[in-house]
Amino acid sequence: MPTLRAAREAADRAQARAKELPWTPRLLESFEREQRSGAGLLAGGLAYRLFFWLVAFGLLIAAVASFWVRDSGGSLQDAAKSFGLSGVAARSAATAVEDGSNARWYMLASGLILAGYFGLGAVRALRVAAFIAWGMKPFRLRGPLRAAGIFNGLFVLGLVATTFLSWVRHHSTPLGLLITIASVFAYVALGVWVFMLLPRPPLTTWKTMLPGAVLAAAGLTAFHVFVVYYLSAKLERSPNLYGTLGAATVVLLGLYLIARVMVSAMFLNATLARPRGSPDTGDDERHAAFDALQRSND
């Protein structure tokens, strides 16, 4: 049929033009390396650890807030819009804290210990993803307590920034939009710093980490909009429709999207840093990194 033939020809021309762009082959190469290396599984393992850290951090927030806040009114939707996914965990833990003062101290101690423990687990998952992306042999983490502290500090900083953006957007929509756009540049700078802290080849510089940081910043900003305008409503309805398991599933979906963006950013940096046309010889290193992941789970 002429119409079908014309559509196929137009699609072929569009694909040919896309291949002519200088960055398209490298993006396709990065995507192919992700698929061969099991990036989806890496993101799932990272999301799993982030979920348990989020629960622990929610207990910590609820315990700290309970010392001067008696009323925990509000819904899951309000918590998600104001504080993101950490607010959801805190809102879910608040009812347990309200039962008595002893529960507050128990939640505070448990939150501190578990946030450090699961934060360290998330750092290890990020390191394994970096090993596989760069094709490096795994090596031992130096200063695990410092690494867990940096991880927790970064997420607390993200929580404060999210709360501030929500407050500004609530009081002034134009100013909130302007600050949201400006926050993308802050995410880029933060992403470069984080990727420089993760395992990488010795000669890489901050410019090498810039493409992945841009991807991560765009993905995290889009995810924040997704949480505020879509996921918050799902979090509100999930307990009524499916119980606690439904809310946990929705939260896990959000964490998986965050983890998937982070893993893709690592592979993008590693792919762009490799010389064009050089063979991918990192299979042995990737197998060693998968062994390191298995050891970290034991």
Instruction: Give 291's contacts (C-beta < 8 A, 6+ positions apart).
Output: 138
Closest by CA to 206, choosing from 189, 223, 218, 222, is 189
Read off the amino acid at residue 119. Answer: G
Closest by CA to 135, choosing from 277, 262, 273, is 273
Q: Length of the chain in residues, anyone?
A: 298
Domain boundaries, the chain: 36-297
What is the residue-averaged pLDDT of the chain?
A: 74
pLDDT for 286: 54
Q: Of the ranges 68-72, 146-150, 202-206, which one carries the lowest mean pLDDT score?
A: 68-72
Give the residue with greater pLDDT, 143 vs 296.
143
The segment with the largest mean pLDDT, out of 12-26, 58-72, 109-123, is 109-123
The segment with the largest mean pLDDT, out of 29-43, 90-104, 221-235, 244-258, is 29-43
pLDDT tens by residue, 248-276: 777 788 889 889 999 999 999 999 887 65
The three-point CA angle 209-228-71 to 5° equals 120
The segment with the largest mean pLDDT, out of 4-8, 114-118, 182-186, 230-234, is 114-118
Residue-wise DSSP of the chain = -HHHHHHHHHHHHHHHHHHHSTTHHHHHHHHHHHHHHTHHHHHHHHHHHHHHHHHHHHHHHHHHHTTT-------HHHHHHHHTHHHHHHHHHHHHHTT-HHHHHHHHHHHHHHHHHHHHHHHHHHHHHHHHHHT----PPS-HHHHHHHHHHHHHHHHHHHHHHHHHHHH-HHHHHHHHHHHHHHHHHHHHHHHHHS---TT--HHHHHHHHHHHHHHHHHHHHHIIIIIHHHHHHHHHHH-HHHHHHHHHHHHHHHHHHHHHHHHHHHHHHSPTT-----HHHHHHHHHHHHHHH-
Give the residue with greater pLDDT, 199 vs 286.
199
Across 114-121, average pLDDT:
90
Read off the amino acid at residue 179. Answer: I
| C-alpha–C-alpha distance, residues 98 and 32, integer Å | 50
pTM: 0.74
Instruction: Give 44's contacts (C-beta < 8 A, 6+ positions apart).
Output: 256, 259
- Asked whether 146 and 153 are in contact (CB, 8 A), the reply is no
Give Cα separations from 47 to 32, 103, 145, 177 (angstroms): 22, 28, 21, 29
The share of the chain scoring above pLDDT 90, in percent, equals 21
| C-alpha–C-alpha distance, residues 203 and 147, integer Å | 22
| C-alpha–C-alpha distance, residues 198 and 210, integer Å | 14
